[in-house]
């Protein structure tokens, strides 16, 4: 299985005010693709999440400064989307589709099983910091329902046995 764990929340994220040379190089590549600096806000936040593991207030400040926006504005954008982590995330974020096709094809059972096996509900992390459960809307893969996205990867046509195998494997790696 190829799913990579999320970058552990870096302590840097708390104080970061500017970006290092590597980040700057990637930003320089990014900005020209957009008509205004403001328009690059989503991909830049995405870059930051890859790099720092989550979007801390420090990261928000740095992004705001880089784009010439106010930190309040950037934080507002971050809060609009579920895929930006606004707290240090677990290593594996289980994004379970809760929309109708998946729900009909066994998604509800998967959710119930996950909650029971991990002992957490939506929005929570396991105490060991390995798994985080998030309920999401249609992942656009209804043909392969039920679907769970783990970090950046899709796991499709799932049932409880397959899911358990995946979780065992990921937990073993941690």
CB 47 within 8 A of CB 67: no
Short-list 119, 108, 93, 90, CA closest to 145 = 108
Which of ligand FES, other proteins, none is residue 147 near (CB under 5 to 8 Å by kind)? ligand FES
Task: Measure CA of the first residue to CA of the last residue in the chain; give whole Å.
Answer: 13
Q: Does 124 bind other proteins (CB under 8 A)?
A: no
Binding mask 75-114 for other proteins (x = CB under 8 A): xx--xx----------------------------------
Piece of the chain touching other proteins by CB under 8 A; list 67-75, 98-106, 123-131, 142-150: 67-75
Which of ligand FES, other proteins, none is residue 151 near (CB under 5 to 8 Å by kind)? none
CB of 35 to other proteins, least distance (A): 19
User: Which residues are CB-neighbours of 28 under 8 A, at least 6 positions away?
Assistant: none
C-alpha to C-alpha distance for 148 and 95, rounded to whole angstroms: 6
- Interface residues toward ligand FES, by CB under 6 A: 97, 99-102, 138-142, 145, 147
C-alpha to C-alpha distance for 98 and 79, rounded to whole angstroms: 20
Q: Does 135 bind other proteins (CB under 8 A)?
A: no
Q: Does 123 bind other proteins (CB under 8 A)?
A: no
CB of 18 to ligand FES, least distance (A): 39
Backbone dihedral region for residue 68 (phi beyond 0: left; psi -120 to 50: alpha; all else: beta): left
Residue closer to other proteins (CB basis): 63 or 114: 63
**Integer Rg of the chain from CA:** 18
Contact residues: other proteins, CB under 8 A: 57, 60, 69-73, 75-76, 79-80
């Amino acid at each position: 299985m190829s799913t990579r764990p999320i970058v552990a929340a870096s302590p840097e994220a708390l104080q970061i005010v500017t970006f290092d040379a590597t980040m700057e190089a990637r930003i320089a590549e990014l900005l020209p693709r957009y008509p205004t600096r403001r328009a690059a806000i989503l991909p830049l936040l995405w870059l930051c999440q890859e790099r720092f593991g989550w979007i801390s207030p420090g990261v928000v400040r740095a992004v705001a400064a880089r784009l010439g926006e106010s930190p309040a504005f950037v934080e507002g954008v971050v809060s609009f989307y579920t895929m930006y982590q606004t707290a240090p995330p677990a290593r594996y974020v289980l994004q379970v589709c809760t929309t109708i096709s998946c729900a009909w094809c066994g998604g509800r059972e998967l959710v119930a099983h996950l909650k029971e096996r991990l002992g957490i509900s939506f929005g929570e992390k396991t105490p060991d910091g390995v798994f985080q459960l998030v309920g999401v809307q249609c992942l656009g893969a209804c043909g392969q329902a039920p679907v769970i996205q783990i970090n950046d990867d899709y796991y499709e046509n799932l049932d409880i046995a397959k899911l358990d195998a995946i979780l065992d494997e990921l937990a073993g790696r941690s």
